[in-house]
């Protein structure tokens, strides 16, 4: 088991982690960054990103993340594949252990582990994972050209994914448990105006069915009322778009989390309850969850870590 020391360890990549690495490198802290289960974060699973500053014609998500990574490496960041599986924030230097058993002793830590898509919790979701069930339309939409798919959710993400899939699939069902869409006016209008999108309001998914591959979904409309109706739809793909869960399991009991599991920040900074540990990106942002906001918080976290190091070492 190897042990090494660093002034700044960054856990997670994506716009928050890579931006933190850029700033920490430029402050001459030679940060080590572990990229986690999904190097580059959620943006690597998107298609074109149109709202990140500096790209007037848009940019592919994977390209944007690779360019941020290259910028961090250029300034001296040590960006590594691998996952931090255990942390000890009880004293400094903080001890963080990878799944391979390597130990990093860090004077400061920036947590940028992001968030993961939520699932409904249906037993058949796992059974059909990769065989019809997906949490990323832009990743897997290509496989459903001229086929029938369903998207679950009523917010902007669900509407965006339904609209994207409507450009590929023959038909898209949008399954919404409420009687309205929570999405922005623009996205609501896009969905309602698209001829091959059918919105199923007041509807919940109770199960999925099929043999080797997904073939359909069991639905209930107006559950628990005198209008309750059970019916099935034949679909080839089932896409989840019902929100995200922050990747904070390894920090429970050490960092203060809110009721949804997001890291709580203090004093209008990126500081956590543990001095010397900072958080950035979606892992500490239940509201905005945008790439540019994550990048900005990565900058703030690195500046906070730099200030902490100057004052304590």
Residues identified as active-site: 136, 139-140
Q: Which two tokens stand for residue 102?
A: 């390597």
What is the rounded CA–CA span in Å between residue 236 and residue 135? 14
Q: What are the C-alpha distances in Å from 8 to residues 70, 105, 136, 220?
A: 18, 9, 32, 51
Q: What are the C-alpha distances in Å from 224 to residues 42, 68, 228?
A: 36, 49, 6
What is the rounded CA–CA span in Å between residue 298 and residue 301? 5
- Please calculate the CA angle 83-248-137 and round it to the nearest 5 degrees: 80
Q: Where are the alpha helices (DSSP H) in the chain?
A: 14-26, 61-74, 123-127, 137-140, 156-166, 185-193, 291-312
Return the number of other C-beta atoms located less than 10 Å from residue 226's C-beta. Answer: 5
């Amino acid at each position: 088991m190897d042990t090494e020391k660093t002034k700044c360890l960054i856990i997670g990549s994506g716009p928050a982690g890579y931006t933190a690495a850029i700033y920490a490198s430029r402050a001459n802290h030679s940060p080590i960054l572990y990229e986690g289960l999904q190097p580059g974060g959620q943006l690597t699973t998107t298609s074109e990103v149109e709202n990140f500053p500096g790209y007037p014609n848009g940019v592919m998500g994977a390209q944007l993340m690779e360019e941020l990574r290259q910028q961090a490496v250029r300034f001296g960041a040590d960006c590594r594949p691998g996952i931090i599986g255990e942390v000890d924030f009880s004293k400094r230097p903080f001890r963080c252990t990878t799944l391979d058993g390597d130990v990093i002793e860090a004077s400061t830590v920036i947590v940028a582990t992001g968030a993961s898509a939520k699932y409904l919790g249906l037993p058949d979701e796992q059974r059909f994972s990769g065989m019809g069930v997906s949490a990323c339309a832009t990743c897997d939409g290509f496989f459903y050209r001229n086929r029938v798919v369903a998207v679950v959710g009523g917010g902007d993400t669900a509407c965006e994914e339904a609209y994207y899939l409507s450009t590929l699939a023959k038909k898209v069902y949008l399954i919404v448990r409420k009687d309205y869409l929570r999405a922005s006016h623009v996205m609501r209008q896009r969905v309602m105006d698209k001829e091959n999108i059918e919105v199923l309001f007041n509807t919940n998914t109770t199960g999925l069915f099929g043999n080797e591959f997904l073939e359909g979904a069991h639905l209930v409309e107006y559950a628990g009322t005198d209008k309750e109706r059970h019916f099935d739809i034949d679909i080839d793909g089932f896409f989840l778009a019902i929100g995200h869960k922050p990747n904070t399991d390894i920090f429970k009991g050490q960092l203060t989390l809110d009721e949804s599991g997001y890291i709580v920040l203090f004093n209008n900074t990126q500081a956590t309850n543990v001095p010397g540990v900072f958080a950035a990106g979606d892992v500490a942002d239940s509201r905005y969850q945008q790439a540019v906001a994550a990048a900005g918080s990565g900058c703030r976290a690195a500046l906070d870590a730099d200030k902490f190091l100057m004052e304590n070492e």
